[in-house]
Amino acid sequence: MRNEKLYAVIRAAFFAALDYVFAMFQIHVPSPVGHPFVDLGFSFVALGTLFLGFKYGFISGAIGLGLFDLLNGYANHAYLTVMEVLLLTAAVAVSYRLLKRNDGLSRSSLITIGIVSGLVKMFSGYLRYLAESLIDAGLPFGKAAVTALAAFPADFATGFVMFFAVPVFFVVMSRVTSRMNLSVQRH
């Protein structure tokens, strides 16, 4: 039992590191609010949830992307990143539970989870920039809602990338862990 907990924490640390590293490779999108960019960090948060389950997926995502924000000039909005991680991990965990069969995930289930994760990232990203417009800029709700749309292209692109990245990386990572005889048992 104790070794299993340690192993789960080590895998969570591994996914936190992946979240951080893949968030570093960015394509910035100009915007009047926030600092939107396209990256693979949230894709690996979704993958962490698929491999680790909600609890450790959320912890690894919050630590990985939270540290990224703290160490790269986005500290004042790290709480919004954690909110996005919470929404994404919850959606992926629920999708996994609904779509998993006895023999694992089918190809169509993986694609569905990729689409769900991308759509949730689009939605949570909009909420993030809406909150930034309301809190940082002090805009009234109507103007904040419109201003948040200016940052939406980055979240749309990130979500669209997740449609493909989550299923593809899941298959690749599953094969690698299988060949290395590493357990991918969810906790």
38 phi, psi to nearest 5 deg: -100, 130
- The runs of H, that is alpha helices, within the chain are 2-24, 41-52, 54-71, 78-99, 107-135, 141-179
Q: Which of 64, 105, 66, 60 is closest to 82 using CA atoms?
A: 66
Contact 78, 66 (CB under 8 A): yes
Q: What is the pLDDT of residue 182?
A: 65
Per-residue pLDDT, 186: 57
Q: What is the pLDDT of residue 50?
A: 94
Q: How many domains does the chain have?
A: 1
For the entire predicted model, the pTM comes to 0.91
CATH number (domain holding residue 72): 1.10.1760.20
- 37-38/27-28 β-pairing: antiparallel
Rounded mean pLDDT for each run of 10 residues along the chain, 187 residues in total: 82 95 86 75 96 96 96 92 97 94 85 97 94 90 90 87 96 86 58
In which domain, by residue range, is 130 found? 2-179
3-state class (DSSP) for residue 161:
helix
* Domain-located, residue 167: yes
The reply to whether 124 falls in a domain is: yes
**Residue 150 belongs to a domain:** yes
Q: What per-residue confidence (pLDDT) applies to 155?
A: 87
Which pLDDT score is estimated for 187?
Answer: 45
Nearest to 16 by CA among 117, 49, 26: 49
Asked, for residue 185, whether it belongs to a domain, the answer is: no
The answer to whether residue 184 is domain-embedded is no
In 100-140, which residue ranges form alpha helices assigned H by DSSP? 107-135
In this structure, is residue 62 part of a structural domain? yes
